[in-house]
Amino acid sequence: MRHVSLAARRAQRYLRRPPHPLWLRSAVCLGAALLGLGTAYTLSSWTLRGGPRAAVESVGERLLAWSGQAGLAVRDVYVEGRRRTPQEVLRSQLGIEIGMPILALDPAATRQRLESLGWIEQASVVRMLPDAVQIRLLERRPLALWQQGGRFEVIDRRGVVIEDALQYDPEQYAHLRVVVGGDAPESAAGLFALLSTQPGLSNRVVAATRIGERRWNLHLDNQIEVWLPEHDVIGAWRLLAQKARDEALLERAVTLIDLRFLPQRLRLRLDPAALEDGNA
């Protein structure tokens, strides 16, 4: 049996390979030509437009265009969480056009633009290659109307003013409580949480005024004013709820309930007209 050397066997395998297709040489030549043209154009841009920075920008723009032509282009934009943000405002801030190269989208910059909108508290922007963009929004939840300087603004639970909220449909916020005072927005969420410990009584509060950045005066739906103390607010609120249940205090001819001096005493101011009629 005749032995064939290793070199001879390799030569035989090589000779048995199919020849390269004729189009391959043409493709290689075309690619080299395009590369040469691109290099030449880059060098000319470098020279004519101010150096390497302009050249890099030119190449980057060309690569983005090529990526879009290759299929990396925006075809769909999915938005989750939008309830109150107007569509036209959202579309303007996104700056996304169908058909644009998806790699041209800057997710971080887009997120910052979205979070600059009044309604949007948080946003996330994700490119879903090859052709989709996923937008998730967390919108602010209206908590109260803040009255300041003769104007009303909608605020959220953090006390942030929701810009332009009243511009589109102010009637939908008419049910919100009104808070008054310079630091009222920052303190409103804590007050409302405390009031909610007595739901029946809390539902009768229509407005609250911040006094000296220390305490609150409440305004009830029957025109009674309640002055809360600076300390042990929850104890005072619990006592008022008990008096309202057991003694029907809120149904009497009372205009003011002063809780600032508890536990020593509870002060009431009666309605003068009711006193004259003998209905106190």
Per-residue pLDDT of the chain (280 residues; tens, 9 = 90+): 445 555 555 445 544 444 545 444 444 444 444 444 455 445 445 444 555 554 445 555 666 666 556 668 899 999 999 999 999 999 999 999 999 899 889 999 999 999 999 999 999 999 999 999 999 999 999 999 999 988 999 999 999 999 989 987 889 999 999 999 999 999 999 999 999 999 999 999 999 999 999 999 999 999 999 999 999 999 999 999 999 999 999 999 999 999 999 988 899 999 887 656 655 5
pLDDT at 28: 45
The DSSP output letter for 19 is P
pLDDT at 62: 65
In a domain? residue 175? yes
Q: What total of structural domains would you count in the chain?
A: 3
Q: What is the radius of gyration, based on Cα positions, of the chain?
A: 36
| Phi, psi dihedrals of residue 221, rounded to the nearest 5° | -70, -10
pLDDT at 31: 46
The 10 Å Cβ neighbour count of residue 257 is 22
Which segments within the chain are labelled E, that is strand?
76-80, 120-128, 132-139, 142-148, 151-156, 177-180, 205-211, 215-220, 225-227, 254-258, 267-270
CATH of the domain at 148: 3.40.50.11690
pLDDT at 32: 45
Domain boundary among 11, 39, 70: 70
- Range of 125's domain? 76-139
pLDDT at 215: 97
Domain boundary among 17, 36, 70: 70
Helix (H, G, I), strand (E, B) or coil at 77: strand
**Integer Cα distance of 167 and 148 in angstroms:** 17
Q: Which two tokens stand for residue 5?
A: 């050397």
Helix (H, G, I), strand (E, B) or coil at 102: helix
In a domain? residue 4? no
Q: Is 117 exposed, middle or buried (0-12, 13-18, 19+ CB in 10 A)?
A: buried
In a domain? residue 2? no
Query: Contact, 146 vs 163, CB < 8 A?
Result: no
The CA-atom distances, in angstroms, between 93 and each of 49, 83, 155 are 31, 16, 22
pLDDT at 150: 87
pTM score of the predicted model: 0.72
In a domain? residue 273? yes
One domain for residues 161 and 123 = no
One domain for residues 177 and 105 = no
- pLDDT tens-digit profile of 4-55? 555 555 445 544 444 545 444 444 444 444 444 455 445 445 444 555 554 4
One domain for residues 86 and 188 = no
Query: Contact, 184 vs 208, CB < 8 A?
Result: yes
**Integer Cα distance of 9 and 7 in angstroms:** 5
